[in-house]
Amino acid sequence: MKYDTILFDLDGTLLYTLEDLTDSINHTLAEYGLPTHPIENVRRFVGNGLKMLVVRALPDGENYDKFDQFFTDFVDYYNNHNRIKTKPYNGVLETTKELSEMGVKMAIVTNKGQTASNSLLDDFFKPYINIVIGDDGSHKRKPNPEPINLALEALDIKDKSSVLYVGDSDVDAATAINSGLDYILCTYGFRDMEDLKEFSPVAFIDSINKIKEYL
């Protein structure tokens, strides 16, 4: 096996989270009397963490005078409503189980907040994946390599040439490139092929179970 370790992105790669994210941001916007967004807009707001989602969703972005309270309210609401419509993409549960049985080491590296990431890990991925590095405010977010390095430390991996990163977005491709990792891009996630075509991953895959062909 060329790759015996896989780092996965979460939103748009393992989990379809878009509807709960859309409902949560729209709920908070409505509470503040601000215009809501169609799901297709929110799809493009996701990728650089929850704070950036809020910046992109607010009419005045980070200049909104109630930004901090809005952000806190949105995160609180999302932490309590992140598993209503969220579900794994087809084949994800079978594939992570199979990879674990093959001895592949795995972790999730996401720009989602750590609290929501922990509960989604518990609900969907344990015992096959046990490590999630989310955004807890203590390190930089993807595309910075910091969260990748934390995941590799947690897995006790020193040789990056045996590590494959799997994501769905331009942020993920940049993360892998910045971290010196080979990567695969999933085309069923939150971006269009148009956004991804400038990148040269090991492969573009339209179903997660195809990862096994590239190990």
Ligand X SMILES: O=C(O)COP(=O)(O)O
Q: Which residues bind ligand X (CB under 6 A)?
A: 9-12, 46-50, 53, 110-112, 142
- The residue among 48 and 115 lying less far from ligand X, judged by its C-beta, is 48
Calculated CA dihedral for residues 175, 179, 181, 183, nearest 10 degrees: 0
Amino acid at 47: G
| CB 200, min distance to ligand X, A | 20
Alpha helix stretches (DSSP H) within the chain: 18-31, 39-45, 50-57, 67-80, 92-101, 114-120, 146-155, 170-179, 193-196
- The residue among 62 and 102 lying less far from ligand X, judged by its C-beta, is 62
Decide: 61 and 55 in contact? Cβ < 8 Å: yes
| CB 106, min distance to ligand X, A | 14
- The residue among 105 and 191 lying less far from ligand X, judged by its C-beta, is 191
Tell me if residue 104 falls in helix, strand or coil.
coil
| CB 48, min distance to ligand X, A | 5
| CB 44, min distance to ligand X, A | 11
Annotated catalytic, 9?
yes
- The residue among 3 and 190 lying less far from ligand X, judged by its C-beta, is 190
Burial 131-152 (b: 16+ CB within 10 A, else e): bbbbbeeeeebbbebbbbbbbb
- Distance between CA atoms of 152 and 145, rounded to whole angstroms? 11
Instruction: Identify the active-site residue in 9, 23, 168, 172.
Output: 9
DSSP-derived secondary structure letter, 211: G
- Phi, psi (degrees; rounded to nearest 5) at 88: -65, 145
- The residue among 12 and 145 lying less far from ligand X, judged by its C-beta, is 12
| CB 49, min distance to ligand X, A | 5
Closest by CA to 159, choosing from 181, 177, 139, 137, is 181
Indicate the angle between helix axes 170-179 and 146-155, nearest 10 degrees.
70
* Residue positions annotated with a catalytic role: 9
